[in-house]
Chains A and B, each alone.
Chain A
């Protein structure tokens, strides 16, 4: 459903995305792994239209979207849950959710609001509370709920587990799994490689803006690089060199 082809993005002289090519099949979750500064957020923002790629193309269901304004891309069904939640702190929970449905109108919005509150019961008693006063976990639920209010076909999640306790992280990934089974395609940027490769069918590894590896999650999990760098397996446990990169481009 989404295809990035040779995408290059710059911040002034900084080459933040280098020939990034990957695809998201309908109904699948693609994990984007990478260390700090690898370009995960830049990739998300480029898909969302906040960052304009200098070259390359992004297609959504065959339609080119990399020159569209952010609101047009949202309208086409791509919604982002940005890094660090980025809620509207002085709007209430209900107002934040309504803003998620900014481009929609009618009775369906009200139904979806009820459905989101059903999915995240912690928010239900807090609809009039200011978003800035929610706990970290509640804020993350609100951030995801707000994105769901747009009825996205493709959900972009930028490090949603950041700052959550282990229990909440597991709960979050359970929710993401549910959403996946409900048919929402996702791009999931994470540093938590273990859980994201669990929930995702495919993964790509970004290193300094370049796709270093990509492939189905089970295979990716077996590669040395992912094991060493992202799964916390020390190099003594696997052979440090070698190790094929299934479907990967290598570096």
Chain B
């Protein structure tokens, strides 16, 4: 029972984690919290749906297509909206992201309608049995994808020039400009990366929650919670936060008496508030860089 709850929790938590990665990639370099992330991910996932149903693309191709669409959408939002509002106060920028999200909801509703669509699993084979733990193939896929994405991002930020430049821009934008880094382009790249990964997460979540205009919202709220838990500026923190969230949520649901078990999501949020009171920078967050020169 315990093993099963943990494994299923890790699978669910991985999804929160990947979702959170997309959000934080954008936040770190641009310092914009994208309140429209859920809607943008929803839109990109609908692109996958379109490719799957109308064009009959194979699943991996459709996911790749959605990731490209997500990346283009991210770049477009940055170039078309955020750049023009660059000197506006942060609250206005947040509202702008929310506005873009609402526009996308309206457009998606107009194109694809308001009813809930089934979204296929990538892998539908027989589940795997590890002792008495049952692992669905989709769960395994989600775990593998999480590991791969984490690895790719680690290599990107540690060993490529553009990855290091993204970190540099996030730490000191003005100094980055003085190094000859085109910070505008770095911002666009971050938006593209954040929504490309968001689209991937969307395609992995959609089989579970189904696809409609609002089905990404609860997942996104949990992704934000995972990000907060991880300190909000730490990519590994987001993944760890997501995994923790998924496992705790599952354990609560599994072990609590049936009267309060359905409150598992509520419990998770209470727990997050407690964590933030005790550790304001999250579990893996950096303290503010006040001491640095």
Contact = CB atoms under 8 A, between A and B. Distances in A.
Interface of A: 48, 50, 69-71, 74-75, 79-80, 82, 84-91, 95, 98-100, 102-103, 132, 134, 136, 139, 146, 150
A79 B177 CA distance: 10
Contacts of A70: 177-178, 180
Contact of A102 (B171, B174, B180, B286): B180
Contacts of B168: 88, 91, 95, 99
B214 interface: no
Nearest to B164: A95
What is the predominant secondary structure among interface residues of chain B facing chain A? Answer: helix
Contacts of B91: none
Nearest to B178: A80
Contacts of A136: 293
Q: Point out which of B171, B177, B178 has the most chain A C-beta atoms below 10 A from its C-beta.
A: B178
A70 B293 CA distance: 23
A172 B239 CA distance: 45
A139 B161 CA distance: 22
A67 B293 CA distance: 31
A144 to B, nearest CB: 13
Nearest first, the 4 A-B pairs at minimum CB distance are A74-B180, A132-B292, A89-B292, A86-B175
B117 interface: no
A221 B172 CA distance: 37
B289 A91 contact: no
B172 A87 contact: yes
B76 interface: no
Contacts of A74: 178-180
A86 B180 contact: no
Contacts of A84: 293
Nearest to A74: B180
A71 B182 CA distance: 6
A87 B291 CA distance: 13
Contact of A88 (B175, B182, B291): B175
A11 B186 CA distance: 26
Contact of B164 (A48, A87, A98, A103): A98
Contacts of A132: 289, 291-293
B165 A69 contact: no
9 contacts: A70-B178, A71-B181, A89-B171, A89-B172, A89-B293, A90-B286, A91-B168, A95-B167, A102-B180
Nearest to A72: B180
Contacts of A75: 180
A148 to B, nearest CB: 12
B176 to A, nearest CB: 8
Contacts of A89: 171-172, 289, 292-293
Nearest to A105: B161
Contacts of A95: 164, 167-168
B157 to A, nearest CB: 10
